[in-house]
């Protein structure tokens, strides 16, 4: 499998949120030095634990700091934007960083009702129509032309379940993550995508990227400790409705854990891959066999930034 990174610009408790963004740029530079294929950034709005709400802006900084690695969005949430605006933003990125820009598109809405209201989210589902319009704008076949005029950027769809059906119908590469990777429906989801795929100007054949947290350290116990802050944040978000900044392992251990919190943390850790190089190699070999994936996009976050960079290096060695 090819190896790429999805960086969510995670903030850390007690540190300025801007460090979440400068940290993403620094990680992109490191990923390029490691020889990784792609570096994608995320879109989340009004989330305390994530600094990136404008992927196109962050990608401009990432592109300026790098020279070879492909850069992209994982993803732009189309219900939050007008297709023309998205097409123009990514045409500008392609003009500034030619041949390096990917446009990953998703359909998730805001995390909470107040955020959805602030984004002017409506009850009407116009996603597929907006996607058609966006694809035409990117290809230069729409009624209006997105400027600057550039070679079309690569478009991928972030999808689970029915979303893979949309990707197959439009002939788009698909990025699959979350619980679907571990569910009984995985074979049906990916098999259906590959069988129904229609070659298009965007892709000649199906392309599957799997996205999940992968943490590598010298031994299994250390890797599990590094993965704990993200699992803790996921568990806390279920209880408080707010996705928090990453806390240190020591701070987490000092807090009271309810039985429900413990179950949620354990479930989150079970849906990640964390361990020594040998453990991770075996887990990824199994994942590759189950999914036939063309690419792994690791969405790892740790509180310790030095450990995150070392995890990326070790993962490169495992996959390579």
- Does residue 190 register a pLDDT over 90? yes
User: How many distinct helices (H) and strands (E) make up the chain?
Assistant: 12, 10
Q: Residue 123 pLDDT > 70, yes or no? A: no
Interatomic CA distance for residues 149 and 220, integer angstroms: 50
The mean pLDDT value for 126-146 works out to: 96
Examine the pLDDT at 81 and tell me if it is beyond 90: yes
Of the candidates 249, 246, 241, which has an alpha carbon nearest to the alpha carbon of residue 221? 249
pLDDT tens-digit series, residues 249-287: 999 999 999 999 999 999 999 888 999 999 999 999 999
- The CATH number that applies at residue 181 is 3.20.20.30
Tell me: pLDDT of 312 over 90: yes
CA dist., res. 199 & res. 39, Å (int): 25
Domain count, the chain: 1
Instruction: Please check whether residue 259 lies inside any domain of the structure.
Output: no
- H or E, element range at 294: none
- pTM passes above 0.85: yes
Categorize the per-residue pLDDT at 124 as very low, low, confident or very high, splitting at 50, 70 and 90: low
Instruction: Report yes or no on 243 lying in a domain.
Output: no
CB-count burial class (<10 Å; 0-12, 13-18, 19+) for 125: exposed
- On whether residue 160 sits in a domain, the answer given is yes
- Whole-number pLDDT of residue 122: 75
> Residue 311 falls within a domain, yes or no?
yes
Residues 6+ apart with CB under 8 A from 191: none
Residue 262 lies in a domain: no
DSSP codes joined into one string, 229-245: HHHHHHHHHHHHSS-PP
Alpha carbon distance 262, 269 (integer Å): 11
Cα angle: 301, vertex 32, 305; to 5 degrees: 30
Tell me, yes or no, whether 111 lies in a domain: yes
**Residue 220 above 80 pLDDT?**
yes
Domain housing 76: 2-216+277-319
Report pLDDT for 180. 82
282 inside domain: yes
């Amino acid at each position: 499998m090819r190896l790429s990174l999805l960086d969510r610009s995670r903030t850390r408790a007690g540190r300025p949120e801007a460090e979440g963004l400068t940290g993403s740029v620094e990680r992109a530079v490191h990923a390029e030095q490691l020889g990784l294929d792609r570096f994608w950034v995320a879109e989340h709005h009004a989330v305390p634990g994530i600094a990136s709400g404008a992927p196109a802006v962050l990608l401009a900084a990432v592109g300026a700091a790098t020279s070879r690695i492909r850069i992209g969005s994982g993803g732009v949430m189309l219900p939050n934007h007008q297709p023309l605006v998205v097409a123009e933003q990514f045409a500008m990125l392609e003009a500034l960083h030619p041949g390096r820009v990917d446009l990953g598109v998703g359909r998730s809405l805001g995390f909470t009702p107040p955020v959805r209201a602030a984004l002017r989210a409506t009850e009407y589902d116009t996603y597929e129509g907006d996607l058609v319009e966006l694809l035409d704008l990117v290809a230069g076949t729409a009624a209006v032309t997105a400027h600057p005029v550039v070679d079309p950027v690569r478009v991928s769809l972030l999808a689970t379940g029915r979303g893979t059906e949309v990707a197959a119908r439009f002939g788009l590469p698909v990025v699959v993550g979350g619980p679907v990777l571990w569910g009984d429906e995985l074979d049906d989801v990916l098999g259906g995508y590959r069988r129904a795929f229609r070659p298009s100007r965007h892709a000649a054949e199906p392309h599957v990227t799997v996205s999940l947290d992968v943490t590598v350290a010298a031994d299994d116990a250390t890797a599990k400790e590094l993965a704990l802050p993200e699992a803790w944040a996921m568990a806390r978000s279920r209880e408080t409705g707010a996705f928090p900044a990453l806390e240190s392992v020591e701070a987490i251990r000092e807090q009271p854990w309810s039985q429900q919190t413990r179950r949620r943390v354990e479930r989150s850790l079970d849906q990640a891959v964390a361990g020594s190089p040998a453990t991770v190699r075996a887990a990824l070999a199994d994942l590759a066999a189950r999914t036939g994936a063309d690419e792994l996009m690791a969405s790892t976050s740790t509180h310790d930034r030095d450990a995150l960079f070392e995890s990326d290096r070790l993962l490169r060695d495992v996959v390579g």
